[in-house]
Amino acid sequence: MIQKGVCVYPGSFDPVTNGHLDLIERATQVFPRVIVAVLNNPGKQGFFPVEERVRLLAKACAHLPKVEIDSFQGLLVDYMKKVNAGIVIRGLRAVTDFESEFLMAQVNHQISPEIETLFMMTSPQFAYISSSVVREIGGFGGEIASFVPGSILEDISTALKKAR
């Protein structure tokens, strides 16, 4: 039975940012259980290996007992059914996010109407942050301390510096 109280926050999290963490923390104020699920897409490798993204998320969310970190392959709605979760949450930073998010929510609704997608507005102080901005700035040796959680700043900076 799909549990409406259980929510999944899916994404690439390559790597997790302060914007993601803000949304995860706020989701724990609304839902009793929050599963953060990293897409493992064999067709799109990304910068951080999926296992490392999961490890970074777990470290950044260590203070949040309601949060579980996982990864998934394939369709999000299939994963939702596997973990019996009824709600997908996604963050909206700006109008530019809307079109793709709207499309994704509608596709997911079409194939699995029992699953709801809910959107949370990114807190304004994080609206400009994205994983790609973190990779770009950090990759050129720039300061990313205000972009990523302090607990994983060293891990991310070191990995980005190594790749330079």
Of 53, 93, 112, 157, the catalytic one is 93
If you search the block for the tokens 């296992």, which residue do you land on?
51
CB of 101 to ligand PNS, least distance (A): 8
**Residue 109 is among the residues annotated as catalytic for this protein:** no
Indicate if 20 belongs to the active site.
yes
Nearer to ligand PNS, 39 or 85 (CB): 39
Reply yes or no on whether 132 is catalytic: no
Considering the candidates 12, 112, 131, 157, report the single residue annotated as catalytic.
131
Distance of closest approach, residue 113 Cβ to ligand PNS, in angstroms: 14
Residue 86, Ramachandran bin (φ over 0: left; ψ between -120 and 50: alpha; else beta): alpha
Beta carbon nearer to ligand PNS, 88 or 152: 88
> Which single residue is written with the structure tokens 């050129």?
140
**118 or 141: CB nearest ligand PNS:** 118
DSSP-assigned beta bridge partners for residue 150: none
Cα distances (angstroms) measured from residue 91 to each of 97, 137, 161? 9, 22, 28
Q: How far is the CB of 142 from ligand PNS (least distance, A)?
A: 22
Interface contacts to ligand PNS, rule CB under 6 A:
10-12, 39, 75-76, 104, 107-108
CA 42 to chain centre: 18
63 has catalytic annotation: no
Looking at beta carbons only, is 50 or 159 nearer to ligand PNS? 50
Shortest reach from residue 38's CB to ligand PNS, in Å: 8
Where in the sequence numbering do the catalytic residues fall?
20, 44, 93, 131
